[in-house]
């Protein structure tokens, strides 16, 4: 069965690979992790690194969408109340 590692362990190992002069295989031995696993983590990190900097923009877009949806919900609530008044 494959071992599972926390995000904290993965990030610690990957940062060590990136900041250290040691090879991924050496670091893998230190942590008792297969070297291919460490290389895969490092490659995944490198290929997704730009997302860290894009999160701010994504958060802004989601907040704007939330505001728009809240406004739409408020408008619909007013319409429902108005229609209820017509039916009474």
Grade residue 3 by pLDDT with cuts at 50, 70 and 90.
confident
Q: What is the pTM of this model?
A: 0.60
Contact 40, 47 (CB under 8 A): no
For residue 70, is pLDDT > 80? yes
Q: In this structure, what token pair is assigned to residue 43?
A: 């490659």
Grade residue 29 by pLDDT with cuts at 50, 70 and 90.
very high
Q: Domain spans of the chain?
A: 1-48, 53-88
| Radius of gyration in angstroms for the set of CA atoms belonging to the chain, rounded to a whole number | 25
Q: What is the pLDDT of residues 10-20, one digit of tens each?
A: 999 999 999 99
Q: What is the pLDDT of residue 53?
A: 78
CATH architecture of the domain formed by 1-48: Orthogonal Bundle (1.10)
């Amino acid at each position: 069965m494959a071992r599972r590692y926390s995000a904290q362990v993965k990030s610690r190992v990957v940062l060590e690979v990136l900041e250290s002069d040691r090879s991924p295989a050496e670091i893998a031995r230190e942590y008792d992790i297969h070297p291919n696993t460490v290389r895969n983590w490092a490659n995944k990190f490198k290929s997704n690194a730009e997302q860290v900097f894009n999160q701010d923009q994504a958060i802004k877009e989601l907040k704007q969408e939330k505001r728009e949806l809240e406004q739409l919900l408020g408008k619909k609530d007013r319409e429902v109340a108005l229609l209820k008044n017509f039916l009474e």
